[in-house]
Structure 1
C-alpha cells in the first residue's frame, strides 16, 4: 500500500530556478543539490543517496524569516559549501528590536562517508544581547530519482512512524523492494522543541557573543560535534585533493584559461568515485550521478593523455559488468557492455530496466576502442590481459549483431517498450529522423557507431598483435569491410556529407548532423571526404559562434532549445575537434576551443552538459538549457581533449615516444606547460611557447629516468 510523507509545518516554498543556479556537493554515491541559502525546498533539490532522496525539505529560518543572503558558494576544490547570511530585525532582550545586519549566520557543510556534516554558527556583532530564534524544517520523501525526474508510479512503499529523541529524529521508509531506508537527523545539542519535521532553538546571544550548532544527516544515528566535523572535513578534503593530483599538471599563461582548466579538473575529481575496480567518473548531477558506460568511456578518452588511470578504472569496471545473458527487458545480450546502472527502489523492483541496463549500441565498440587507446598510451599489458576475455566477448557480440544486417552494419532496436527508443549518444525519442521529418523504423544503424566499430576492430587487431595472439589479420579485415560499407552506404554525394543513419528499410536518413564528426574521430573516412565534412562542421551551418551545433538550421527538426536537435554539447564539439585534428586541421580546432572557452566564461568557467544552439550575437551570452546537468563529466573533460587536439600531441607508452604534430595554442595563450606527463615508466615535462607565428616546444626529463623520445613535426 502506498503512503505519502506525513504532513509537517510547511516551509516557505523555494522560488523556481534552473538547474544551473543550484549548488552541488558529491562524495561517493551521495550528493546534495541546494539553493544559495543552503536550503532544500522542492524541485530537484535534496540530499540523495543510492538514487533515493533522503532529504526533500531542509530549510533554515532565523526569527521566523528567511535570513538575507550575503554570499554563498562551493570551495574551489568542490568540498565545502558555505553560505553567509544575516538577520532581519530581531527582538533585543529588554528592548524593542535588533536592527538588520548585526548577526552573522554561517552555514558550512560537506559530505563524507555517505553523511551530511553541517556547522551553523551565529555571531552577534552588536553591543546588545539578543534572542535569536532558529528553526530548521526537515523532511524526507524517500522518492526514487526517477520519481524526482517526473516518473509516475502506480504505488509506493510505506512511510514508517518517525522516532523522535532528545537530540535527533529517525525517518524511515519501507520500499516495495523490502528495503528499509532511514534518514537520521541529529544535533549536537537538544533543541528547545523537536518533532518529526521541525527543530527549534532559542539561541541567547550575548553582545559580541557567538553560538555553534553541529548536525549530521545519514542512514544511521550519530553524535555530531566539533571533533567529528573537523576530522571528517580533513578526510573529505584530503580525498578530493588526491583525485585532483592524479596525472599531469597543466599551467597556461592566461589567468582565465587556467581557471577553466582548474575548474574542469576539480569537477572531474568531484564526479569521480573510487570504486573497488578503480576511479570511475559518474556522468553528472543531478540526473546522472551514477556509472554510465558511454559517458565514462568518452571522459576517459578525453583525459587519457594526462590521466590514464581513469581509463583503467573505467575498463575494469565495465569488463566486470559485461552481459552474459539475454534479456529483452534490459536490452542485454552476451558480450554487451553496460549502458547504465542504478541502485534505487524502482530499478530494484524492475519498474524500470535501469538496475543494470545495456541499451546502448555504441558502448561496446567504444569499450574495445578505449582499451586499444589505453594499451598504446600506457603499454600496460597486465590490464589488457585481465580484460582480454571481455574484449573478445565484446567483439563477438558486435559480429553477431552485424551478421543480422544486410550491409554488415552495427544496428539497434529496443527489446521492449520500457527501453530506450534511440540507443546512440543522441538517445532522446526524436533525435533520429529522415530529411522529411519521418521517424525511421528499426533496426537503425547510426553513422558514428560504425566509426566506433571500425576503431574497435583496429584496436583489437593491434592488441592481438602486441600480445602475440592469432587473429590480428582477421580484425584488420573486419575494419576494412566496415570502412567499405560506410563509404558506400552512408556517403551522400549531393550533400558532400555522411547520412545520419540507415533505417530498418535500408534507407539512409539524409540528415547532416554532428555525428559525422565522430566518424572523423575514429579515422574512418578518406582524407578527401573528411575534409569535406570538416569544412561544413566549421561553417556557419554548424558553428554557432559558441560551439558546434548538433544540427544545422536546415534540418526539419532543428530547434536550438531542444535536447539533441540543434543544441551545443561540449563533448560532441570536442570529439569533432579531435576528428578534425586527426586529418590535419588545426586552425579550425583552435576556433572550436576558443568558442567553448568563451562559452565557459559565461557559465562561471563550468561548461554544462549542453546549452542552446542560438547563433552568437554581439553583446549577448550563450543561452542555458534549463535542466542540463551541471557539472557533467564529459563536459568537464572536453577542454582536455580540445587542448590535446590543438597541441597535436600523442603518447605511445609502448615505444616510450611523444609525438607532437603542428602544434597550436589557444588564442591569447602564449605559454603552456605540461608537467609530469607519464610515458611508460618515465615522466617528461613539455613547454609550449608562442614565438610570433611559430610554436616552439621544449621537452625535459628528470635525470636518471628512462629515456623518452620526443618526435616534433612543426
Structure 2
C-alpha cells in the first residue's frame, strides 16, 4: 500500500459555489496565513479560535466529510475551572461546519467527567475583509472602513470602501446558554452535568453587492442548496465507471466528486447550465482556459459542462478594444473576479482577457460538444460568437501579420505570459534566460490549425461549403508554414515558440506534445517527437516535465519550469493516442495513476514536482497547489477516454472505439455514457495482449464500432 502524501498538509478546505473555507486542521484560522472564510473573492473571517477558559482545545481528529462540510473532534487539556482542575480527556468537543452559501457551525460538548463542570466557551473571531489577491500574496492592506456592532445577540461587521461593500453577520442560535460578546470574543457560560451534552449553533451570513449568502439555519438538516441539488444531478447523470482495479475506480469517482464541487451557474435565457470553476481555493471564479480544457476533458463524462462553458464565455466575449483589460473584439476572457481591487479598478479582472488560447480552444470545444450532443440549436446560438472568434484570430491573434498567433500584454497589470504556462518566468531560452514577448507559442499554432478544421465542419452543418473550403485552405497553409518555421531537425523536436525577433526559442519543453493532439505534426516527424518526449530529461516516471531537466532554468519544484501537470500530460496522451502510439499513451496514464495512488483519496493536485520516480520515493506536491482543481480532476477522465479511444459523432449516431487496456487495468465497465439522445453501457477486458469489448446496454439509436 503506497504511503499517502498530503497536499497542503495541515489544511481543511470546504466549499459551496463561490463560498469557501480554509482552516488549519484544528479548525482555527490564522490571519497571517492564506486561510479564512471567503465569499466572492473577499475574506470575511480572517481569525477564528475556539477555547475553554482561554485554553486551546486538544485536537483528536479532523477531516472533510464531503466537499461542503467538515468535522473536527477535540478533547480538553488539563483545564483550570472554578471548582478545581478538570483532568485532560474529560470532554468530547465536536465541531461540524457546513458551507451552504453562508456557513453553519454546530458545537457539541459532552461531559464524561464524574462531576458537573462549569467553564467559559470562547469563540474569538475577527474580519479583515482582505482582497483574495492580498491574502494569496500575504500582503494585507486595509483600504476601507470597518464597523462592528453587537445587538440582539447578533454580531454584525461591515466593510466599506467607496462602492465596495461586504458584511458578515454572526448569529448564535439554538444554544444551551445565552451568548455574550466582548473584547472580540463570543462567550458562553457552560454548565454540563455528567453524561450530558451542551450545544449551540452559529450561523455566518455573508452580504456582498446586495446578495445575501444565508446558511442553512437549523441543525441536522441535510445539505439542500440549489448548488447541492445540481451537484447531485450531475453525479446521477455522469458516466459511471467500474473496474476490478479498485484504485482506478476510486480515482475516477473522486474526480467526479471534485468536478461536481466546482460548478458555477450559467443562465442562458432563463435556462440554467453549469460550468466548472478552475480550482479551490484561489480560482473559484469564471476562468476561460481552465474551464474550456476541463470541459473538453470531461466531455465523455458529462458534455453539458461544455455547453455551459461555451455559453458563459460567449456571453462575456469582448466587444471592443480595451488595453487595461487586454481585450479585443471577439476575444474570450481569461478570468472574472469580484474582489475589492477589481471593483475599484485597481486590477483589470472584471473581466480580464489576457489569454492567447482560450478563444481558439473555445472553437475546438464548440465542435467537440456538437460531436457528442448533435445539438444544432447550440451551434446556431453560438454562430455569432464563432464568427467573432474566427475574426479575432486573423485580426488580433496574428497582430503583426506573420501568419502565426502571438501574445503581448497591453495592460500595466497584465500577464507577461499568456499561454497555459502563464507564470512570469515560464518561457525561457535554452540558456535559461527569460524570453521577452511577443511570443508565438508552438501549441497555439496547433490549436489554430485544429480550430479552423473543426470550424469548417460546423459550417458544413450549416450548408456553407464555400466557407468550409476557405477554412480548410487556411489550415493547410498554416500546416505548411508552421512545419517550416518551428521544426528543429537537429533535435528531432519542435521549438517552444518564436520570440520577438521571429527566431526559434529552442528550449525543450512539454508544449510540443500538444501538437499531436491538434494533428499538425506530419506522420514522419511524429516518431521523433514522441521519442524526445520520453527521454530522461523530459520523462520523470510520473509524467512529462514542463521543461527539460537539462535547461539551466529547470527546477522540479517550480510552478512551470520542470514540474509535472496532470492536465498537460492528459492532453499529450490524447495526442499520442491520435497518432497510434497506444503504449506510450498508456505509459503516461500509468505514471499519472501511480502518482494518484500516493495522494489522499486519489485526488489529483494541480501539479507536483518533476523529481525522478524511484522505488524508494513518492511524488512531491507543489506548495499551495489548488486541490480540488478542475483540469487536474479532468485529467483522470481524459486518460480513461484515451485508453478506450472513444470518439463520438452524435449527428451520425456513431461511437468509435479503439480500446487498448494496459496491464494495470485488466477490465473496465462504463455505464450511462451519453452520445446524442442515446445512452450506452460498455464492458472492456484484456484477453492476453488483446482488448475485447461488448455492449452491455443501449438505450436509443447508436452504431458502435472499432
TM-score after normalising by structure 2:
0.94
* Of 573-582 and 253-262, the range deviating more from structure 2: 253-262
Structure 1's unaligned 5+ residue stretches are 1-16
Instruction: Give distance in 1, aligned partners of 2:402 and 2:228.
Output: 54
Q: How does 1:107-186 map to 2 (within 5 A)?
A: 107-112=95-100, 114-150=101-137, 156-159=143-146, 161-176=147-162, 178-186=163-171
1:443 corresponds to which residue?
Answer: 438
* Of 431-440 and 213-222, the range deviating more from structure 2: 213-222
1:321 and 1:489, CA in 2 relative to 1: closer, same or farther beyond 3 A? same
1:10 corresponds to which residue?
Answer: none
1:499 corresponds to which residue?
Answer: 495
Preserved contact between residue 92 and residue 128 of structure 1 (Cα < 8 Å): no
* Of 259-268 and 332-341, the range deviating more from structure 2: 259-268
Instruction: Give distance in 1, aligned partners of 2:514 and 2:274.
Output: 26
Which of 623, 627, 630 lines up with 1:633 in the alignment? 630
1:21 and 1:483, CA in 2 relative to 1: closer, same or farther beyond 3 A? farther
1:711 corresponds to which residue?
Answer: 705
1:298 corresponds to which residue?
Answer: 293
Q: Any idea what the Cα deviations from partners look like across 1:581-621, whole Å, max 9, x if unmatched?
A: 11111111222111111211222111111111111132111
2:694 corresponds to which residue?
Answer: 698
Aligned residue pairs: how many?
A: 688
1:223 and 1:62, CA in 2 relative to 1: closer, same or farther beyond 3 A? farther
Q: Any idea what the Cα deviations from partners look like across 1:291-323, whole Å, max 9, x if unmatched?
A: 110000010010011110000000000000000
Which of 64, 72, 76 lines up with 2:62 in the alignment? 72
Shift of 1:245: 2.3
Shift of 1:222: 10
Aligned partner of residue 588 in structure 2, secondary structure = helix
Shift of 1:656: 1.2
1:628 and 1:620, CA in 2 relative to 1: closer, same or farther beyond 3 A? same
Shift of 1:479: 1.1
1:187 corresponds to which residue?
Answer: 172
Instruction: Give distance in 2, aligned partners of 1:227 and 1:331.
Output: 43
Instruction: Give distance in 2, aligned partners of 1:421 and 1:388.
Output: 31
1:669 and 1:353, CA in 2 relative to 1: closer, same or farther beyond 3 A? same
Shift of 1:658: 1.2
Preserved contact between residue 102 and residue 214 of structure 2 (Cα < 8 Å): no
Instruction: Give distance in 1, aligned partners of 2:407 and 2:287.
Output: 18
1:457 and 1:399, CA in 2 relative to 1: closer, same or farther beyond 3 A? same
Q: How does 1:278-677 map to 2 (within 5 A)?
A: 278-401=273-396, 404-469=399-464, 470-604=466-600, 605-661=602-658, 663-677=659-673
1:90 corresponds to which residue?
Answer: 79
1:5 corresponds to which residue?
Answer: none
- The CA RMSD over aligned residues, in Å, is 2.1
Shift of 1:580: 0.7
Instruction: Give distance in 2, aligned partners of 1:210 and 1:270.
Output: 33
Aligned partner of residue 56 in structure 2, secondary structure = coil
* Of 178-187 and 331-340, the range deviating more from structure 2: 178-187
Preserved contact between residue 296 and residue 314 of structure 1 (Cα < 8 Å): yes
Structure 2's unaligned 5+ residue stretches are 1-5
Aligned partner of residue 452 in structure 2, secondary structure = helix
Preserved contact between residue 20 and residue 627 of structure 1 (Cα < 8 Å): no
Shift of 1:518: 0.8
1:529 and 1:62, CA in 2 relative to 1: closer, same or farther beyond 3 A? farther
- The alignment status of 1:682 with 2:678, answered yes or no, reads yes
Q: Any idea what the Cα deviations from partners look like across 1:84-108, whole Å, max 9, x if unmatched?
A: 11111235775x3332222111111
Shift of 1:237: 5.1
